[in-house]
Structure 1
């Protein structure tokens, strides 16, 4: 299972650069979206965040940590969609859109926190958004590059469409790498489920 990971890391550097830049563009776009919000939308977000932080600080019932499988399912669904899109040539643009959207979500989340609470919002983002995403994002980008590479391989080698033997090895390599990333995401989900909420409770008193 480690062989496909080493292979994709070594031979697909241009693709890694491309999807990483695309992701970063999404982060910037998401952060800029915060400035495009109307005053009413900003006030709604401010009220929501205020209630959320107050609930965490007081240990209210509104703040309930997600179950492990809920967190894991969210990450695995994203990974599974990337894997499915990689199986077809027409799914190639969808992979790029998912990478961009992931960046937008993170950029918008951090942008809202910083916009409402300045350095305190940044501190909260560092403990609630950053830790698990430092692993989740690389895992998804690795899976995306593998999916793009598999799609491009289909385009370059039409023989894969007619010779099952030729298609088996690339498919198994691609699927093996995806399964390895799934295992990584499961491990990260445990951190996000049991450690991240504790870190959030440590920082929230500074905000609430």
Structure 2
């Protein structure tokens, strides 16, 4: 598939750009922690206290969580796919990558700021493992979407008007479906394995 070859091998600048954008989002998200008001910090702390107790007691509806987590990840992949089909959606793909970085940066930054080394340990066990797979999947999906969108611009608005989009579109759909299947597997890990990892450290956070 020529389109996939371009996506994985010839789009290094795009991968670097998306990675840098994500890292900027992580930094921005971490800096946002310092902007929280005292009330917001107390609300988050109260929510986390209840969450830690639930995890420690094993009160997690895994089937319900799996469905919710899977749908969340698939919606993210689906939105990137849809934005890639339209030229005007190109900036939206970049916004999603930046937003994902912000969410991870804020989560890790808050845990570290609130709980110091214990928060870092929790982040390493609860946030890092599945995101080590989610981030590459989102990057591949984003670069594929950007590449397809740029391909449409070249074929429709420049000198390649007669070039067919059938093969690139088929490759784009195939890649997106593959990424969606990977997300289902990652969701399984996040649902059934991550809570077990978190149970190892939640006793450190439970107030006696």
Aligned counterpart, 1:22: 21
Shift of 1:51: 2.1
How many equivalent pairs are there? 204
- Deviation per CA, 1:133-171: give whole Å up to 9, x if none: 1001100110000000111111122179965x7110010
Structure 2 CA distance for aligned equivalents of residues 99 and 131 of structure 1: 19
* 3-state SS in 1 of match to 2:93: helix
Alignment correspondent of 2:32: 33
TM-score by length of 2: 0.91
Query: For residue 107 of structure 1, what is the aligned residue in structure 2?
Result: 105
The alignment's C-alpha RMSD in Å is 1.9
Counterparts of 1:47 and 1:111 in 2: how far apart (Å)?
A: 17
Q: Measured at CA, do residues 43 and 67 of structure 1 come closer, stay the same or move farther in structure 2, by a change above 3 Å? A: closer
Q: Superposed, which structure 2 residues align to 1:1-208 within 5 Å?
A: 4-59=3-58, 61=59, 63-65=60-62, 66-158=64-156, 163=162, 166-208=164-206
Q: What's the CA shift string for 1:62-100, capped at 9, x where partnerless?
A: x54443222111101000000000001000000000000
Distance 2:4 2:153 in 1: 22
- For 1:202, what is the secondary structure of its paired residue? helix
| Unmatched tracts of structure 1, length 5 or more | none
Counterpart Cα distance in 2 of 1:68 and 1:43? 29
Q: 5+ unaligned residues in a row in structure 2: which ranges?
A: none
